[in-house]
Amino acid sequence: MKKWTLLLLAAIMLVLAACSSGEEDTATETENGGESVTIQGTNGEVTLDQPAKKVVVLEWTYAEDLLAVGVQPAGMADIESYGDYVNIEPQLDETVIDVGGRQEPNLEAIAEIDPDLIIGVDFRHTAMLEELERIAPTVIFNPYPEDDSINLYEEMETTFLEIAKAVDKTEEADQVLADLEEKYEESAAEIEAADLKTNDVILTLAYSGPQAPEIRVFTPHSMASIILERIGLNNVHEPDQFEVFGSSTFNVEGLVQYEDANYLYTVPDEDNIYENQLAGNPVWENLNFVQEGRTYDLGPDTWLYGGPLSAETLMDQITDVMVNN
């Protein structure tokens, strides 16, 4: 009898221990706020104890990626200029703290935020990675891979999904990309119905160079060009070499080879080369697309290097100027 009593007591103690352990596990999980998450950047794998809640972004595109999944960055570089180029919804909250320039962010301002994660860009922030990592876990992305093994649109999607994972918004990110696919179909139908004289295009970004106007013509490898192709337009620019940043730079004479295509362009208001340097320029004025009125101004706030929301904005702006005007 005593033996059975001892066995029963031992069993009860095991059950109580198990319950206690389960309670402790639940408390630990609640305290941590979720499971750890690992994200992949050019600086390797970065593991967070839990999804990030306070994120500092040092590049505009990564702020856009957060906004796309409903997360406001805690801090961001160069907020003042962001709105001049990036035209998306939702907008940044007034609560987002400016942490200095994109090239040289203010480390003290970042540290004061006490972020869970810092997101930087390879060509600007790798050199200061150790300083950033002293403040918080830091992941670096490279939007411009050095070969054509991945195009710049694919890189955009990959980085967007990694950032969404970091803030536990993978389902929301998948929905954003699914909605974008539907938008491509809608825009392609609009372009097709417009029955344009030609669907051949070049897409350009122009600015004043040291000697003369310089015009970036986007390559088929670029994110913006792939968006064009997805809606039924044909980018006729074929570069002589791989362009890591997704564009070739020409002067106005270099555009002659493309004069039978439609000319899509964005240019800053404060540096409008078409109204200034090229007004009355005989080479420019005699290009077929100028003569035939096939130049399409996409507006100064067309960000050709952004994420999924900028992709949607670009589609809207293209269809607006090519179909509705």
User: Residues 53, 159: one domain?
Assistant: yes
Residue 295 in any domain: the answer is: yes
User: Residues 186, 140: one domain?
Assistant: no
Last residue of a domain, one of 117, 140, 168: 168
User: Residues 128, 149: one domain?
Assistant: yes
What is the distance in angstroms between the CA of the first residue and the CA of the last residue of the chain? 96
Ranges under pLDDT 50 in the chain: 1-32
Instruction: Give the domain range for residue 70.
Output: 37-168
Last residue of a domain, one of 132, 151, 168: 168
Structural domains in the chain (count): 2
User: Residues 162, 185: one domain?
Assistant: no
Last residue of a domain, one of 145, 168, 191: 168
Residue type, 214: E
User: What is the reported pLDDT for 278?
Assistant: 93
User: Residues 187, 102: one domain?
Assistant: no
Residue 85 has which token pair? Answer: 């180029």
User: Residues 158, 264: one domain?
Assistant: no
User: What is the reported pLDDT for 62?
Assistant: 96
Q: Say which CATH number the domain at 211 has.
A: 3.40.50.1980
User: What is the reported pLDDT for 17?
Assistant: 46
Residue 8 in any domain: the answer is: no
Predicted TM-score (pTM) of the model is 0.85
User: Residues 195, 145: one domain?
Assistant: no
User: Residues 126, 75: one domain?
Assistant: yes
DSSP per-residue string spanning 119-177: EEEHHHHGGGHHHHHHHS-EEEE-SS-SSTTS-HHHHHHHHHHHHHHHTT-HHHHHHHH
User: Residues 83, 185: one domain?
Assistant: no
User: What is the reported pLDDT for 34?
Assistant: 63
Residue 131 in any domain: the answer is: yes
Residue 53 has which token pair? Answer: 């809640």
User: Residues 164, 230: one domain?
Assistant: no
User: Residues 213, 126: one domain?
Assistant: no
User: What is the reported pLDDT for 31?
Assistant: 40
Residue 28 in any domain: the answer is: no
User: What is the reported pLDDT for 231?
Assistant: 96
Neighbours of 105 (CB within 10 A): 27
